[in-house]
Each structure stands twice: as C-alpha cells, then as structure tokens.
Structure 1
Amino acid sequence: MQDAMSREESFYRTPSGKVCVGLLGERMRWFWPELKNLAVLGLGGATPYLHAIGDETTLRIGACFARSQADTSFLPGRCCVADPASLPFEPQKFDRIVLVHTLQGRENPVSLLRAAARVLKDDGRLLMVVPSRLGGRARLRRTPFARDMAFTRPKLRQVLAAAMLRAEQWDEAVFLPVSQACRTIRRGRQMDIAGKVLCPGGGSLILVEAVPDMYSALPLSVQRKKGWLSRMGMSTAGTAATSRSGKAL
C-alpha cells in the first residue's frame, strides 16, 4: 500500500503526469483566460497546476495538507503545509482558488470548502477538479485522483451550496484510462473533444467553477402540495358551510 501511494505521489514527474497537467491546464485556462495581477491559491495537490495558469504578474501560492504533497520544486518558496479546516491566510485574500486532490478520505468536505470560501474574495471564483462517480476512479488508477472522493454533478451542487458556494460552469476531461488519454497532449485533447460529442457526461474528471453565494445554504419554506382528495374535501366543506349560512338567512 505504501509503495502504491509513493508511486501515485510521484505521478506528476512521469510523462503521463506532465501530459495530465497540460490537458487540465488547458481546461483551467478556458475557465480563467486572464489572471493578470491576481492572487491564486492552490489547495491540496493543486501546486503542479498553478504553473499552467496565469503569467509572471500572477501571485501563486500552494497550500498542501500533507508533507508528501509539499513539492517545492513546482513553487519554490511559495508552498506551505496547512490545516485544511483552518487555512493560515487572512479573509478575502485570494481572487481565485484551485482545489485538486483536496478531498482524499474526507467524509465531510463542507468544512474544507467553507475554509476556502473564507479566504476567497466576494467577487472571486473557485475551481474544483474531482473524479466522476460514474466510473471515473476506475480509469484514474495509479494517479492521485484514484484516492480522491468521487462525485456526481447533483451531489457537487449540494455540497457547494452547503458551503455557501454556487456552481456556475462545468466541464469534464479524460474520457479514456490515463494510460491511453495521457500519452500526448494532442491525443488527449482529441479524445476529450470526441468524448464530449459522443459521450457527454462520461468524463473521468469533473471540473466545476463556483462563486460565493451567502443565500445558497438558507432553506426555503416550501408549501406542501395538497392532493386531489384533500382539495375535494376542502371544496365539499366549503359548499356545506355556504349552504348552512344561506339557510340561516
């Protein structure tokens, strides 16, 4: 087990891992094409992906949750190990937050998402990359994604809403096993384009962009819809009351 974990942690140093970063980096740039003079936080294992977005004016900081993820070769001097429930940053510090490999073995992701929302600006945006529950992890073996918590889109909406975040844009990637999809960036790009046309919703990875929404977690009062039998009973009672009042007159 320990050998498997060490192989997964070194995934981003392999040719397949570098192609994976390139493919997902393209999708991240589709969400955020312009990050000039903005502050970006990468949570969990997002550090390798921070080089794929922004430019030399972008402030990029990585916050890992385990020392095995704290690879400072990707961000020299700008990577720290942090408590996922209490991030060491002041409120509303970042314009963008990327979450990759943040939900490994966590039963309740809401506390982590709320901690991320606390350091996100009011007009900021958050991007999550998670495996799809529809067979996603089976195609992501020997990668760190295989240990991540898997979701469906409705479940992601529910979790984000509980953290006072609202899902706005969606995307998906890696429609084939990593060993085939991540041979070259060109091949992976072609496979993803074909997958979105031929099998929409069948990607191994779900990408969702969310924005702060303080009202998303507030329950709305919903009036129970009465059945036709109840409505008929009320109508009969009303007719009887009207006839009694007419006789009294």
Structure 2
Amino acid sequence: MHNVMPPAATPMAVTTFYQSHEGAVCAALLRERLQWFWPDLRQQTVLGVGYAQPYLGAWQEQGAGCVSAVLAAHASAVMTQQKERRGVPPEERTCLVDARHLPFDDDAFDRILLVHALQDEEQAVTLLRAAGRVLRDDGRMVLIVPNRFGGRLRQRATPFAREAAFTRGSLRRVLAHAMLHVERRDEALFLPAAQGCTSLQRGQASDIAGKVLSPGLGSLRLVEVVKDVHSVRPLPVASRKAWFSKMVVPVQDA
C-alpha cells in the first residue's frame, strides 16, 4: 500500500484540528453522514476507536452509551488536552488502548466507529479483528478512511493526511482478512477542508455537488461493515474418488 505523505503536507495534530473552525465544521459534516448510517442508537453501546471523540456526540445526546478508545498514536495529544481541560469527555468513558488488543469483553458493543485509526494494511487487519471480537454478532461497524485517489493530498493540512489510504479493492481485501464485509458506503469532503469547511452550508453543498459530478472521488470513504459469518466456516471439500469408489466392487483373490 502506498502510504507516503505528500512532501508539502504539514498535517495538524488531531486535537489542534478539531479545535479549529474548519475541524469543527468537518466533524459536523461527518456526524451528519454517521447519523444517516445509524439514526437512532438509544439504549445501545457505541465504541469509538482511534480518535472518535468529536463524532460520538452524534449518538451520546440521544442516550447511547459511548466509550472512546484512543490509540497510542494519539496518546500525547489527548494527554495535553486533558491537562488543559478543553472539552474532554469524562475519564471513565475514555481509555488508551493498544491496536493489538482492545480491553473489552467479547460481544460488548452494538456499534463501533473507527476514525483516525488505520496506519497500514497489517495494522488495519490486526485492529479490525480486535474490533470484530468486541462487536456483537448482529452489530455494525463504520470506518472513515482517506480515499487513495487524492484524498490525503486534498486534506494534507488535516490529520487524515497521516493515515492509510484505500481504494475499494484494497479496503475489500483488508476487510476479508479481518473477516468482515461491506454493507453500505458513503463519501465526504470533496474539497480541501480549508475551502469546503468554511461553513456547514458550504460543506453540505460541495459534498452534494461532488457526489453528482464526480462520484467516488470524495476525500474520505465512509464504509459500514458487518461480520462475515461464512469466512470462519470453510465448506468441506468432497473427495474426487468418492463417487468412483461406490461403483467398484471388491473381488476376492483377484
């Protein structure tokens, strides 16, 4: 996978970006799309993995139980934010985790959101398998990832520029290795955040126009996935000699 950042890219830290005006508008736009996937999560449990704090409010205000699992890559930024006490969720709802193991019981969550979480294909498979373990069998997961076709280049001043970018095919391959498959897709941020996120109305209008004029070229891919129950149950392979052996009659003293 091509993971080299554009040479001129100077992406912000996640906390700095979401404290800016463009970051707040970006989060609002993506929360709208997330609510399209999951409009009502009352009395359900939601896990945000990576750096999902700006997005969990889409359901927390509706009565969903939300937990933010921050990856080690964002630990220093979160620690700084906690020291400054700027809009940090309660500590009991936020924890630092390792991508190889999420410290939760099996089947603990109804929904999982992964954003600012995937660094490369190998790490993505490991993290997605860990997330699949804590997701209920009938649960759903949404991934927000940069588009390989210019997504990171357009968003080079945002945290998305540091993350693994995917095509449909490469993401499908990673999901297959993680025993997941795609249910629904969406895309967002057709313009750079500096131009498309000056206001919520401008961001909405540019995304609508982008989906009509250049579908598939949004900077970010939003993909809803579910567990692939058939991937862990391989079908038995019948022996090619079975049908012939039934026709052979053993002959004594042949």
Contact 1:176–1:191 (8 Å) recurs in 2: yes
Partner of 1:75: 89
Contact 2:47–2:113 (8 Å) recurs in 1: yes
The secondary structure found in structure 2 opposite 1:114 is: helix
Partner of 1:42: 48
Higher relative contact order (CA 8 A, sep 6+): 2
Q: Is 1:136 the counterpart of 2:117 in the alignment? A: no
Residues 120-152 of structure 1: per-residue CA shift (max 9 Å, x gap)? 001000000000000000011121100010001
The secondary structure found in structure 1 opposite 2:118 is: coil
Contact 2:11–2:161 (8 Å) recurs in 1: no
Partner of 1:242: none
Partner of 2:66: 60
Residues 54-104 of structure 1: per-residue CA shift (max 9 Å, x gap)? 434210000011213535534222111011111000000000000001113
CA distance in 2, matches of 1:5, 1:188: 20
Change (3 A) 1:168 1:6: closer
Q: Which residue of the other structure, out of 23, 32, 43, is the alignment partner of 2:38?
A: 32
Q: Which amino acid aligns with 1:154?
A: G
Which ranges of structure 2 fall in alignment gaps of 5 or more residues?
A: 1-6, 237-254
CA distance in 2, matches of 1:200, 1:123: 30
Partner of 2:187: 172
CA distance in 2, matches of 1:208, 1:93: 21
Two-structure CA RMSD over aligned residues (Å): 2.1
CA distance in 2, matches of 1:134, 1:18: 24
Contact 1:162–1:216 (8 Å) recurs in 2: no
CA distance in 2, matches of 1:179, 1:102: 23
CA distance in 1, matches of 2:104, 2:168: 29
Mapping 1:7-18, distance limit 5 Å: 7-18=13-24
Change (3 A) 1:6 1:17: closer
Change (3 A) 1:115 1:128: same
Q: Which residue of the other structure, out of 177, 190, 195, is the alignment partner of 1:162?
A: 177
Q: CA deviation at 1:214?
A: 2.5
> What TM-score do you get using the length of structure 2 for normalisation?
0.81
Structure index of larger Rg: 1
Partner of 2:133: 118
Q: CA deviation at 1:49?
A: 0.8
Contact 1:35–1:55 (8 Å) recurs in 2: no
The number of residues matched between the two structures is 220
Change (3 A) 1:139 1:89: same
> What TM-score do you get using the length of structure 1 for normalisation?
0.82
Q: Is 1:190 the counterpart of 2:205 in the alignment? A: yes
Which ranges of structure 1 fall in alignment gaps of 5 or more residues?
A: 222-249
The secondary structure found in structure 1 opposite 2:59 is: coil
Contact 1:166–1:216 (8 Å) recurs in 2: no
Contact 1:174–1:181 (8 Å) recurs in 2: yes
Q: Is 1:97 the counterpart of 2:112 in the alignment? A: yes
Change (3 A) 1:218 1:109: farther
CA distance in 2, matches of 1:7, 1:111: 24
